[in-house]
Chain A
């Protein structure tokens, strides 16, 4: 990969994370347990969608092959997506959605905090803008983990189960590959491996307050950065891309 191709790939990783999680959250629209949550979840999804628009637009500009945010969102097939496996996992029940969200919010907060000092001014600008939103997201998901964990016997069990089920997906967030290392060397990217202790500490503080335990799960899966996804991404794309697949370049 050339340096330019690596930057494009790096931006797609960031943008795809936001887009796929945003799309997942949008599935809650009209289905959340209470009206306030319906509004909260969809607003968070909208923030993520906004971040992905900025990142994909920028990726398209760097690439210089005439692909804009829409082309990148709607004309790419599964193998070309770079989002974490965690984020494409189904919503499950409300506890599972909140577990997925807290794992990612806590990671994204640290990642974007570091990215706001990126040597790439455009990326630093996007990160600085987004971190204000992520601050609210992280507080929201953490508060729910605490309320459910320290709630009734049933909510406690459901929350613990959700945390356990998704634990195997968190590890790849902290992997560094060639692209990450190249971007780190240029001062553009972040050393995500170095963020793990701070992430662990944050999660442990929330879980302690929630009277929940850190999952003891030995399996882990990886592969999103090489385009190896779970079966779920295909279904997300089938729905998200339907219109542009059926009516290419349709406008409204």
Chain B
């Protein structure tokens, strides 16, 4: 079935596309969708990569295409723009809440303070303690660092500010 696309329809379909590495987050929560507009009858979607080398980006593009087609939207334009550069400041409050529930500490503070080298106070997503220490600034993926809670002693991932 081919449906008539409009911005609301496209936006709601995009919300169903999950980040392949953090499946609790939609790509909308992540702030990856930069723009959705109609060019005549044809939706045009602009996305931005999180990290330059993020292997999830190719999968995300594929998933968007599949999800739109699955919902009857066959003809659309999918563009990638790197400027302005993605920042964790674009992650939605809802996204941050879902991350914490999933066991990943969401980014603390703003991108600017992190890049100036200020160490963030990271809250343990498991027990809520602020007594945590960094194990390594690089975790299972480029976007995460490894932390440990000195209260409950559990290790956890922290989504870095960029």
B-binding residues in A (CB < 8 A)? 22, 36-37, 39-40, 43-44, 46-51, 53-54, 121, 124-126, 128-130, 132-133, 135-136, 139-140
Contacts and interface: CB of A to CB of B under 8 A. Distances in A.
Contacts of A49: 53
B85 A40 contact: no
B51 A47 contact: yes
15 contacts: A43-B139, A43-B142, A46-B54, A51-B53, A125-B82, A126-B82, A128-B84, A129-B85, A132-B115, A132-B162, A133-B51, A133-B162, A135-B117, A136-B138, A140-B138
Contact of A128 (B54, B85, B141, B146): B85
Interface string B76-108: 000000111111000000000000000000000
Contact of A140 (B49, B55, B137, B162): B137
A129 B50 CA distance: 9
A140 B142 CA distance: 13
A-B pairs, top 5 by smallest CB distance, nearest first, are A50-B53, A50-B52, A125-B83, A40-B138, A36-B136
Interface of B: 49, 51-55, 82-87, 111, 115, 117, 135-142, 146, 160, 162
A133 B139 CA distance: 14
Chain B contact surface mostly: loop
A54 B52 contact: yes
Given A36-B146, A43-B142, A139 B52 contact: no
A125 B49 CA distance: 12
B52 A124 contact: no
A136 B160 contact: yes
Contacts of B162: 132-133, 136
A47 B111 contact: no
Contacts of A126: 52, 82
B137 A139 contact: yes
Contacts of A43: 138-139, 141-142
B54 A50 contact: yes
Contacts of B160: 136
A125 B141 CA distance: 23
A46 B51 CA distance: 9
Residue among A125, A126, A132 with the highest chain B CB neighbour number at 10 A: A132
Contacts of B85: 125, 128-129, 132
A54 B57 CA distance: 13
B137 A50 contact: no
B105 to A, nearest CB: 17
A30 to B, nearest CB: 15
